[in-house]
Amino acid sequence: MSTNDSLQTRDALAVVHGLTNLSAHAQRGASVMQSGKGVWVQDIHGRDYIEAMSGLWCIALGYGNERLADVAHRQMMELAYYPLTNHKSHPRVIELAEKLLSMAPVPMSRIWFASTGSEAIDCAARLSWYFWNALGQPEKKKFISHQLAYHGNTIASASLSGVSYAHEKFNLPLPGFLHVSTPHFSRHAHPGETEDNYSDRLIADIEKLIHKEGAHTIAAFFVEPVMAAGGIVIPPARYYEQLQILLKKHDILLVCDEVVTAFGRTGKMFGSTTMQLQPDLLVCAKALSSAYIPISALMICSRVYEAIERQSGELGLFGLTMTYSGHPVASAVALETLKIYDELHIVDHVQQVGPSLVSGLMNLRSHSLVKEVRGIGLLAGVELAPNYGAKCARIAEEEGLIVRAIGDTIAFCPPMIISELEVRELLKRFTNALNRL
């Protein structure tokens, strides 16, 4: 047995994998990746792949970025760790918070830091409760989100997620987490319904739910501007406009989960701008550090922050704390990442190459197995005929292309630094995979 083969076996005997059939894994073993450069990764057998999913929607600057490695090294040597508790701080977290506030898609007041998207979503839920308690409305406790939404996998964020795999046998969702219909026109519209009529119907259903539960019991509505792990779902133009009117009318907070969409992915710096959302709370992660180190951020508007500040003054303490909140090394890497996005004019770049990816995939609509192609910026999904998704992803991997099958939708979310030439190579490999299906 070669060292490389034994790595596959050792993995199966030692590591637990998420979103994986664990029984099948014990038989099949892992695809073990060894190194990466730009949009490319190489496995332990020396085979090259285009990482068309940025890992898990995250390695936005691609692999092997020396500046990010250098800045982490420098920060580790200067001040490897410092907490933010008991009035303590450090320069990098201050600079990062200021930078994020200057970039925010709507005016925001403060930034809370955590390590993962799930944690920051969890904090958004907890801050919503804290906020309504501060306003003397403790009954405002329930949350609404979409079926098929993915908001993470801690207990609260998994409850917000609308996917059965995060709930089944895990005793979730918790009570008070409500899910409404996925805003996916082509899949769920009634025959003859226009996009506007469809949107009106969904909004009317949400209003019925709000009346049934009582607006005085609902704390916040969580949305992903574009639903990523739900299969690249781009809600109809009118949907969010009407939803926001409804939420304002019933005084329900809007939380935008921009864990995937922030920092250029949809062709604007924030998905909230692309989809014209005005959140009270906004969560970002993943591309915040281009996945070089875990860090997430929760942006808090002034109405919410002022209430939080006042209440913590009355209580004598703001009781939320996490050891790695605003970690100096993660903050330094995130700051450098944002600087690189500025220097690369990343939004302009996505606006340039995104259409090549999306239109290239659109050209495949004539293929007999392709049902629908959806895309925005550098985020796209190709929906295949039923039961072809997993097989297609497997064949694509044999063709040297890593994609993700979400049911029968093949998701694409390549590193945002992908070049036109690499987009063409990606399309070629995917077309080969489709033709082999």
Ligand X SMILES: Cc1ncc(COP(=O)(O)O)c(C=O)c1O
Interface ranges with ligand X (CB under 6 A)? 56-57, 116-118, 121, 150-152, 224, 228-229, 257, 259-260, 285
Closest approach of ligand X to the CB of residue 231, in Å? 12
**Residue 126 contacts residue 154 (beta carbons within 8 Å):** no
Closest approach of ligand X to the CB of residue 410, in Å? 17
**Residue written as token pair 């703001």:** 318
User: Residue with the closest Cβ to ligand X?
Assistant: 117
Q: Which is nearer to ligand X, 224 or 383 (CB)?
A: 224
Amino acid letter at 385?
A
Closest approach of ligand X to the CB of residue 257, in Å? 5
Closest approach of ligand X to the CB of residue 274, in Å? 14
**β-sheet bridge partners, residue 411:** 381, 404
Closest approach of ligand X to the CB of residue 224, in Å? 5
Residue 360 neighbours by CB under 8 Å, 6+ apart = 423, 424, 427
Q: Which of 147, 157, 88 shows the shortest CA–CA distance to 298?
A: 157
Q: Which is nearer to ligand X, 134 or 380 (CB)?
A: 380
Q: Torsion angle of alpha carbons 412, 358, 240, 252, nearest 10°?
A: 20
Closest approach of ligand X to the CB of residue 7, in Å? 25
CA angle in degrees (0–180, nearest 5) for 377-378-382: 105
- In whole angstroms, give the CA distance from residue 417 to residue 406: 24
Q: Which is nearer to ligand X, 324 or 388 (CB)?
A: 324
- Edge-to-edge strands of the sheet including 409-412? 370-376, 379-384, 409-412, 404-406
Residue 91 neighbours by CB under 8 Å, 6+ apart = none
